[in-house]
Chains A and B, each alone.
Chain A
């Protein structure tokens, strides 16, 4: 185990649904990240949070809404997604953004019907 947990592990949702992905890290880290991994594409960084503040948003559509209530928890709220949003969503954390080593959770496999 890496110390980063994600729930749910699998999620199937319709395009009109609203759902949330949750990530929790037990490592005392200050930076947290959301990545998207689609089939046959490189891992894409979506959001970066440092000390609960969003520091990066890599042109992610507004149907993805992140929330970081504290340094240990990170959410990704999903609303009116498209089938092409189906992917593995990975959360990661690091001591701080300048610390390159990142610890990843197991991911949430999302399927949008």
Chain B
């Protein structure tokens, strides 16, 4: 398994603005997932992007994947106060089923 590293560690924006957070990883992957965690709660799966995909959308979420740069980004458009949470990426290599999480990006959306 390999660990993704999220950047920035913390992000504070006004409600209605877009939030972008990034993930870098070290070795080749089969897919990469993004999860959200509200304070002191469990993680919630947001989106999975496969290595042969470059972009994926889900509601206000847009995920991109650049395998040549070994990086992914998560864009949240028109942010809401309820989006305040920590966001984690989890890259997964071939034959690997363990998810290894980084320290996450802590997003604060100010009403």
Contact of A106 among B3, B41, B48 (CB under 8 A): B41
User: Are A90 and B48 in contact (CB-based, < 8 A)?
Assistant: no
Q: Complex formed: what's the CA distance from A4 to B42 in Å?
A: 10
User: Are A40 and B103 in contact (CB-based, < 8 A)?
Assistant: yes
Count, chain B residues at interface, CB 8 A: 24
B45 contacts across to A, CB distance below 8 A? 101-103
**B40-56, CB < 8 A from A:** 40-45, 48
A13 at the interface (CB under 8 A from B): no
Measured CB to CB, the closest approach of chain B to A44, in angstroms, equals 9
Residue on A nearest B101 in the bound complex, by CB: A43
**B67-111, CB < 8 A from A:** 88, 90, 92, 97-104
Measured CB to CB, the closest approach of chain B to A21, in angstroms, equals 13
B31 at the interface (CB under 8 A from A): yes
A106 contacts across to B, CB distance below 8 A? 41-42
User: Are B98 and A45 in contact (CB-based, < 8 A)?
Assistant: yes
From known contacts A2-B44, A88-B40, infer whether A101 and B98 are also in contact, taking CB-CB under 8 Å: no
Q: List 12 A-B contacts (CB under 8 A).
A: A40-B103, A42-B100, A42-B103, A42-B104, A45-B98, A45-B100, A90-B42, A90-B43, A92-B42, A100-B99, A101-B33, A104-B43
**Residue ranges of A at the interface with B (Cβ–Cβ < 8 Å):** 2, 4, 6, 31, 40-43, 45, 48, 56, 88, 90, 92, 94, 97-107, 109
**Residue ranges of B at the interface with A (Cβ–Cβ < 8 Å):** 1, 3, 30-31, 33, 35, 40-45, 48, 88, 90, 92, 97-104
